[in-house]
Amino acid sequence: MPGNTRYEELARSITERYARLPNRLQGIARFALGNPDAIALSTVAQIARDAAVPPSAVIRFANALGYPGFTDLQRIFRERLVARSATYRERIEALRRGGDDEGHVYPQVTASAVRELERLRDHGDPRVLAAAARLVAGAHTVYLLAQRRAFAVAAYLAYGLAQLEIRAVLLDSVGGMLRDQVRSLRHDDVLVVASFRNYTDDVVAAANTVRAQGGSVVALTDTAVSPLARSASITIEIGDDPSVPFRTLAAPLCAAQALVMSVGYVLGEGGEPAPSERQCNRSRDLRPASVSTRRAPLPRV
- In this prediction, residue 198 has a pLDDT band, given cuts at 50, 70 and 90, of confident
Q: What backbone torsions phi and psi does residue 124 show, to the nearest 5 degrees?
A: -65, 135
User: Would you say residue 283 has pLDDT above 90?
Assistant: no
Q: What is the pLDDT of residue 87?
A: 58
- In this prediction, residue 172 has a pLDDT band, given cuts at 50, 70 and 90, of confident
123-278 CATH: 3.40.50.10490
Distances from the Cα of 13 to the Cα of 23, 25, 36, 55, 64, angstroms: 17, 14, 15, 22, 11
Q: What is the pLDDT of residue 111?
A: 84
**Which residues lie closer than 8 Å to 250 by C-beta, 6 or more apart?**
113, 114, 116, 117
Residue 284 identity: R
Rounded CA separation 39/73 (Å): 9
Higher local confidence (pLDDT), 3 or 28: 28
Do 31 and 44 touch, CB atoms closer than 8 A?
no
Q: Which of 86, 102, 2 is closest to 39 using CA atoms? A: 86
Number of CB atoms found within 10 A of residue 100's CB: 11
Range with the largest mean pLDDT of 53-57, 227-231, 272-276: 53-57
Q: Which of 181, 190, 179 is closest to 214 using CA atoms? A: 190
Average pLDDT, the chain: 82
Q: What is the pLDDT of residues 110-160, one digit of tens each?
A: 888 998 999 899 889 999 999 999 999 999 999 999 999 999 999 999 999
CATH architecture of 7-95: Orthogonal Bundle (1.10)
Helix axis angle for 70-84 and 7-17, nearest 10°, is 130
Q: What is the pLDDT of residues 70-110, one digit of tens each?
A: 999 998 888 877 666 545 565 556 555 545 554 567 777 88
Rounded CA separation 179/34 (Å): 31
Largest distance between two CA atoms of the chain: 62
> What residue spans define the domains of the chain?
7-95, 123-278
Q: What is the pLDDT of residue 287?
A: 36
Q: What is the pLDDT of residue 212?
A: 92
